[in-house]
Amino acid sequence: MVPLFSAEGFSSLIFIFIVIVTVLGAVIATHSVRLIRAVTGLAICCTGLAGLYYYLNSPFVALMEMLIYVGAVCVTIVFAIMLADPKPDVEVGKGSVFTGPLSFALGIILFWGLSTLAGKTPWVFPSARVNDGSLEAVGKALLTNFSMVFELISVVLLIAIIGSLVLARQGRTRTGGES
């Protein structure tokens, strides 16, 4: 047992706090009726995740989580909500009888899979990854080991751009500019 008033004690307190924030954010994201609050929950959850990454000695991934998920993805979702202008208090329909047990079973399968994966992966110890997040390391990783992923992401982005262009063009020709 680590004494509370020491560096380790404080650090575990903060760790527990971050875990609580992450779980709380996830619960808000899935259980709130108003969409905008769900997005806020998602933002909180992602901030908590960034904190967890920081505790796993990966500050680079933590900051990228903030930059991309909180700063870009959540903002985009909020923007989409603003444009769509949903009715504030629409009753969310209850799913069928099977929804609960089915999602529970799927959750268990997912948890089992991920935890087996985590248990079997040969993790690199923090001391061996001191230079992670340095520019050279990230650049080398992106252009060697993960170049396939990197290129696939660019294809996804290309498709997204083409899709939005198609949608925008349709809107212009059909309604003549104003909608």
Partner 1 sequence: MPEPFRVILFIIFVMAFAGLNAAYLVWCERKGAGHIQRRIGPKEVGPYGLLQPIADGIKLMTKQLFLPKGVDPILFMVAPLMVMVPAIMSFCVIPFSEIFVAREINIGLLMIFAFASVNVLGLLLGSWGSANKYAVIAGARCVSQNVAYEIPMLITTITMVMVTNTMNLNEIVRLQDGWFWHWYVFRLDISLLMPVAFLIFFVCSLAETNRAPFDMAEAESELIAGTYTEYPGMGFGVFFMGEYANIVIGCALTTILFLGGWQSPIPLDFSGFLGVIWGLFWFLLKLYALIFTVIWIRWTYPRTQFYELLNLSWKVLIPFSLFNLILTALQIKIFPWL
Residue numbers of the site for partner 1 (CB under 8 A)?
A: 7, 10, 34, 36-37, 40, 43, 59-60, 63-64, 66-67, 70-72, 74-75, 78-79, 81-83, 133-135
Q: Are 36 and 81 in contact (CB under 8 A)?
A: yes
Neighbours of 73 (CB within 10 A): 14
CB of 139 to partner 1, least distance (A): 10
Q: Which is nearer to partner 1, 110 or 160 (CB)?
A: 160
CB of 49 to partner 1, least distance (A): 13
The pair of structure tokens assigned to 90 is 């629409």
Q: Which is nearer to partner 1, 130 or 149 (CB)?
A: 130
CB of 60 to partner 1, least distance (A): 6
Q: Which is nearer to partner 1, 18 or 74 (CB)?
A: 74
Which residues touch 83 (CB under 8 Å, ≥6 apart)?
A: none
Q: Which is nearer to partner 1, 5 or 98 (CB)?
A: 5
Burial class (CB in 10 A: 0-12, 13-18, 19+), 69: middle
CB of 126 to partner 1, least distance (A): 15
CB of 144 to partner 1, least distance (A): 19
Q: Which is nearer to partner 1, 19 or 73 (CB)?
A: 73
The answer to whether the Cα torsion of 17, 18, 19, 21 is positive or negative is positive
Q: Are 110 and 118 in contact (CB under 8 A)?
A: no
The H or E element spanning position 82 is helix 75-84
